[in-house]
Structure 1
Amino acid sequence: MHLVQVAPYVTYPPRLGGDHRTHGLVKEFPEFDDVVERFCQGGSPAMYKSFDFRREVDIADGYTEYRHLHPLHELLKAPMLLGYPNVFQSQALKIASDGLGRMLDDADVVLAREPWQTPFVLDQVGDETPVVFSSHNVETERFGDIDQPVFESWFEERVDALERTSVEGADAIVCTSERDADVYREKYDPGGPILVAPNGTYEDDLREHHPDSRGAARVRQRYEIPEEATVCLFMGSDYKPNVEAANAVVDVAREFDDESERVHFLVMGSVGNALDDSGLPENVTVTGYVEDDFEAHFDAADIALNPMQSGGGTNIKLIDYFARSLPVISTPFGVRGTRVTDGDHVLVAKLDGYPDAIARLADKPPERAELGDAARRLAADEYTWEASSRALREFVVDEFGPF
């Protein structure tokens, strides 16, 4: 099979949750001797920061990422910096899409990520080439309340039009949860079958928690965390729902400000860039983006926090916590679309219940270990990218093969 994947920006190596889903859904295809080509429309901030201007990246045998770097692509992404959706990508492809035409001509199947480029792809391929719409979120929900002073209604209407065209025009859909699939069925008239391939973690990341490791000790020492403190970890990128959650973590930390020797809060990732350093309590450490000792930060933590209150799709960080055998305290919204059981795999609490939940787990290491082990087993059984990728390939072959 020759699969062409169309993505709105550079994906590999994956850094953000969307990148991991883009890569994760196709990573197993080369194991079946399939060819995977990914067309990336422009760069990413991480790519420009590292001066990685390669046009082609060989990820594995038969798996290549092609980067079409063009000023127009970057210019039309500018509204995203203000919180607007990525609605101009199809228009940009009409002007600048060198290389994509050849890929679409060679493709047996096209996998188009999100609704921003899918309408262009649908217009370009012939009737004999199936297009699978790869949904990461229900975008009309994600951007249903843009809360911007200018052109808010126009952007909301445009998102709805793009998503409708993608859902109704594609030959099949792959989405993150059964709930998202139901929303598509109720809101639109899907043009083909729907596969639910949940977000996940990589099999190589499934591991036991090692709080006594040298790496964990090194991380605690680096941030001057008291040796006996219970460490609560939140990680995320600089993305509005994550910023909202990180501020909630800071609010919870203030509840323990007089017990800073007992409970410490570690905010990991670029989400920390959006926090006001001057107003942070002493028991909060903001790490910024972490490359060195990444896994050791998980070992240094005793509890993972998932206080998400908004966003789309299912929560990738939740499964990443599970993979590292960390006990998780999550809001009800944070476990949406997953098959978790409160008290067995995770503790579910509203934000005002977080201090009590943290205090409970801080005093019960055996309960923490039991929750973390059960969560890792659930991730291994149901939430790996490898399993979702194999399921997607089987779905494509069953619906459109043989190739």
Structure 2
Amino acid sequence: MRKILVLNIFPTVFPPTSGGTLRYFHIYNELSHYYDITLLSQTNSKKGKVIKYSSSFREYKAERDPLYSQIRQKVHNAASGYELPLIMYLELANYPALYKKYFEKLYQTSDIIIHETPYLLNYDFHFNKDQKPRIYNSHNHDYSLAKQIWKDEKAREYLPRLYEAEQRLTSQADLIYATSAAEREEFIKDYRLDPQKIMLAPNGINPDEWLPRRKKPAGRPRALFIGADYPPNTQAVKFIIKQLADKCPDIDFIIAGGCCRPFQELKKNNVKLLGRVQHKKKLKLFAEADIAINPMFSGAGVNLKTLEFLSAGIPLFSTLCGVRGLELIDRKHYIHAEAEDFADKLNQFSSRHKFMEEIAVCGQKHINTHFSWKSIAKKIHNDIEEIFSV
């Protein structure tokens, strides 16, 4: 069984509940049926640990680097909030970081190296110097995303370094995965890449994990949004609180996840902020929601919450940005709404229960047919084996 070492900034959690952790865990959990998989992740904890998910799937969670405080002092005026940890990893790569020691140890017994992000490229000091295949399993076009959502002007001074890292990774990797056809084309255009080495590995779902949904509304309609503490998600929550809640007084808005954090002091009678929720609670929320909303106005890659909402059979209202890369049809698979008419669409359609149920069934069938983690991992396995057959 070939051994794969996967490099990523953030650790997964079990069971995974949001965004990147869902992709990070489920793809490699499925691939562990074909390969021996080791994840190498970074944490903020003072102690590292190894978690064994199965006999062929484990994760090394490296402890916070001893140089962390020193490097943070150097860059603390250059970024804040979301951008800071990303810039920290770019900077730490210039030092004898602890993560490099973990990498070197695990590298020796690995056959394939997969990068989940360009931020850690310079920790792989054998890159383009050995015969081991390198794969970039992108969650996003990271440079394009950073250029779009990094707001701090000092932080934006690091964008050329990120561009250089992603350009080098995509140019010299043996295989690249994009989450959507649109991002695949962006990679080809921005980095002048050979289209034949860029494949699709969209985000996915486990169709069998959802609880049975409540078919008939019990009282006021409940609209669900869930998301991590991530700028596009907090932008969506602000829109829900400042715009939708007042314009849709007959709908209760349920918001879950780390995206609630900046808004805990705000009070609205028809908005409930739950904060982070455990997986069992998340499944219950999905079963009890009458509709799902996804007012995303920025971001990259395929939106995992869209996949989950639809796979669970919840009627979805979303912007085009929120359904990017999924080939969904308005009023067949979901209801399309943008900032200027989102409230109107909610008020118009949320009480049309039969129509909403028809849309939910079509959306669920489309997603569950084309976006299961098992089928995505099987395709990745076939692509990787092609590398070794040449």
Q: Quote the Cα distance in structure 2 between the aligned partners of 1:321 and 1:237.
A: 15
Q: 1:237 is matched with which residue?
A: 228
Query: How many Å apart are 1:117 and its aligned residue?
Result: 0.9
Q: Quote the Cα distance in structure 2 between the aligned partners of 1:384 and 1:236.
A: 20
Q: Quote the Cα distance in structure 2 between the aligned partners of 1:111 and 1:341.
A: 34
Query: How many Å apart are 1:68 and its aligned residue?
Result: 1.7
Query: How many Å apart are 1:205 and its aligned residue?
Result: 2.4
- 1:142 maps to 2:145: yes
Q: 1:20 is matched with which residue?
A: 22
Matching residue within 229, 233, 239 for 1:248: 239
TM-score scaled by length of structure 1: 0.86
Query: How many Å apart are 1:101 and its aligned residue?
Result: 1.2
Q: 1:177 is matched with which residue?
A: 180
Matching residue within 366, 389, 402 for 2:377: 389
Q: Quote the Cα distance in structure 2 between the aligned partners of 1:363 and 1:28.
A: 39
Q: Deviations over 1:30-89 (max 9, x none)?
A: 223x2111111x215xxx5xx9x5611001121110122133475457867523261442
The one-letter code matched in structure 1 to 2:37 is V
Query: How many Å apart are 1:399 and its aligned residue?
Result: 2.2
| Paired residues of 1:105 and 1:125 also in contact (CA < 8 A) | no
Query: How many Å apart are 1:92 and its aligned residue?
Result: 2.9
- 1:342 maps to 2:305: no
The one-letter code matched in structure 2 to 1:38 is L
- 1:43 maps to 2:46: no
Q: Quote the Cα distance in structure 2 between the aligned partners of 1:82 and 1:207.
A: 35
Identity of aligned residues (%): 19
Determine helix, strand or coil for the equivalent of 2:253.
strand
Matches within 5 A, 1:315-326: 315-326=303-314
| Paired residues of 2:213 and 2:288 also in contact (CA < 8 A) | no
Q: Quote the Cα distance in structure 2 between the aligned partners of 1:185 and 1:163.
A: 12
Q: 2:52 is matched with which residue?
A: 58
Q: Deviations over 1:127-162 (max 9, x none)?
A: 31000011111122211142214253x212112111
Query: How many Å apart are 1:281 and its aligned residue?
Result: 2.4
5+ residue gaps, structure 2: none
Query: How many Å apart are 1:244 and its aligned residue?
Result: 0.4
Matches within 5 A, 1:150-229: 150-152=154-156, 154-190=157-193, 193-206=197-210, 208-211=212-215, 227-229=218-220
Q: Quote the Cα distance in structure 1 between the aligned partners of 2:137 and 2:49.
A: 24
Query: How many Å apart are 1:193 and its aligned residue?
Result: 0.3
Query: How many Å apart are 1:163 and its aligned residue?
Result: 1.2
| Paired residues of 2:223 and 2:291 also in contact (CA < 8 A) | yes
Determine helix, strand or coil for the equivalent of 1:98.
helix
| Paired residues of 2:103 and 2:124 also in contact (CA < 8 A) | no
Determine helix, strand or coil for the equivalent of 1:31.
coil
Q: Quote the Cα distance in structure 2 between the aligned partners of 1:276 and 1:89.
A: 30
The one-letter code matched in structure 2 to 1:236 is G
Matching residue within 255, 259, 282 for 2:269: 282
Query: How many Å apart are 1:90 and its aligned residue?
Result: 5.4
Which has the larger displacement, 55-64 or 382-391? 382-391
Q: Quote the Cα distance in structure 2 between the aligned partners of 1:126 and 1:106.
A: 16
Q: Quote the Cα distance in structure 2 between the aligned partners of 1:354 and 1:171.
A: 43
Q: 1:83 is matched with which residue?
A: 82
What is the number of equivalent residue pairs in this alignment? 375
Q: 1:220 is matched with which residue?
A: none
5+ residue gaps, structure 1: 217-226
| Paired residues of 1:4 and 1:111 also in contact (CA < 8 A) | yes
